Amino acid sequence: MAAADASSVAVAAGPRFHSVLSLARSSLDIVIPSATLMSIVFACFCLPALTSLPSPVAGRVLESNLPLFSPGHFLGTDLNGNDSLSRLVHGGRVSIQIAFAVNLIGLVLGGTVGALSGYLGRFVDALIMRVLDVFIAFPSLVLVLAVAQGGGGGIANTIWSLSLFSVPAFARVARAATLRIREQPFVDAAVLSGAGAGRIVFRHLVPNIAPQLIIFGLLGIGIVIVIEGGLSFLGFGVQAPQPSWGNMIAQGQQLFLSNPSLVLLPSGMLFLVVLSCNLLGDALRTRWNIA
């Protein structure tokens, strides 16, 4: 984080007499996607507590397939009479939780393995890279399907199965970044002052590769949300009646001609979150000047 903070401070201090407004205008590419992301996260996690949304699974068949803006159901209802807004919000909560957990596991485990592999080099590095190559080359969805089905669906199983692929991906990024940092003089200085491998990796290397890992994590959140949606869409991830954007799209297909909003709303949310993550990742990359 140190490098990240340092560079953002440097950027902010650039124009000496700036107003908050001009700073905001000059960094619209960061403000807009992060505001979008924050409002979606806020809606998904706080809306059910703040307002009296109906439960996402307590619909009555009598009220099934209501159009948008029906009284009591702002975004209408689905095939089973469940409130669409409530399902959208609860489904988003599941997707975001899974994406966050998977990337956190990848960041911590993969980041550590990658940094150690890059720093230690030689035999350890070669061994770890061979193992990672296996996972990178393998079509991830296939194995994830088998693992998710194996555990019988559910949030926890989906998280573990997707982590099989976030860990190696993070490890590769961390290793590449470490290789670039390792040659710098301050690492030699640390070695000369008698620091051990663990101290060098965690106190000197990790803070320097953090910005790159954070950007990769942002892109990773988008990727995981897409894969999780695909799993649930195929019926292997989050199981109905519990909502998730993926299984809402799959279910809404049946009623597309009479009520396209059942497909378009969760699709649109999915697209918006992934787009915001990608745009934010790109903007931060430019801002922090990372290749």
Partner 1 sequence: MTKPELTPIVERRDVPWRSWAGGLSSALSAVILGLVLRRFATAVPVALGVSVLTFWILNLLPGNAAWSLLGTDATAADAAQLEAKLGLDLPATERYLQWLRGLLSGDLGKSLASGRPVTNLIAERLAVTAELAGLAVLLATVCAVGMALLAARTPLADRVGAIVSMVGISLPNYVLAIVLVLGLAVHARILPSIGFVPIQESPWGNIKSLILPVSALAFPLFSICSRFLRGDLAEQMEREGYILTAKAKGVGPWSVLVRHALRNSLAGLVTIVGLNLGPLIGGAVVIEQIFALPGIGRLLLQAINIRDVVVVQGIVLVIALITVSATLCVDLLYLALDPRIGRGRR
Contact 214, 284 (CB under 8 A): yes
Residue 198 CB, nearest approach to partner 1 (Å): 29
Nearest residue to 243 via CA among 56, 100, 51? 56
Rg (the chain; Cα; Å): 22
Considering the complex, what minimum distance in angstroms separates the CB of residue 112 from partner 1?
A: 22
Q: Name the segment binding partner 1 (CB under 8 A); options: 51-59, 111-119, 187-195, 275-283.
A: 275-283
Does residue 291 touch partner 1 according to CB under 8 A? no
Q: Which of 274, 280, 283, 284 binds partner 1 (CB under 8 A)?
A: 274
| Residue 67 binds partner 1 (CB under 8 A) | no
Q: Interface residues for partner 1 in 214-253 (CB under 8 A)?
A: 222, 226, 229-230, 233-234, 236, 249, 253
* Residue 141 or 190 having the CB closest to partner 1: 141
Q: Which of 150, 154, 198, 241 binds partner 1 (CB under 8 A)?
A: 150
Closest to 137 (Cα-Cα) out of 165, 116, 112, 108 = 165
> Residues near 198 by Cβ (< 8 Å), separated by ≥ 6?
none
Q: Contact between 257 and partner 1 (CB under 8 A)?
A: yes
Q: How far is the CB of 148 from partner 1 (least distance, A)?
A: 9
Residues linked to residue 77 through DSSP beta bridges, in sequence order: 83
Nearest-5° angle of CA 266, CA 276, CA 153?
45
**ω into 266 cis (within 30 of 0):** no
Instruction: Assess contact for 78 and 262: CB atoms under 8 A.
Output: yes
Given the rule CB under 8 A, which residues bind partner 1? 130, 133-134, 136-143, 145-147, 149-152, 222, 226, 229-230, 233-234, 236, 249, 253, 256-257, 260, 263, 267, 270-271, 274-275, 278-279
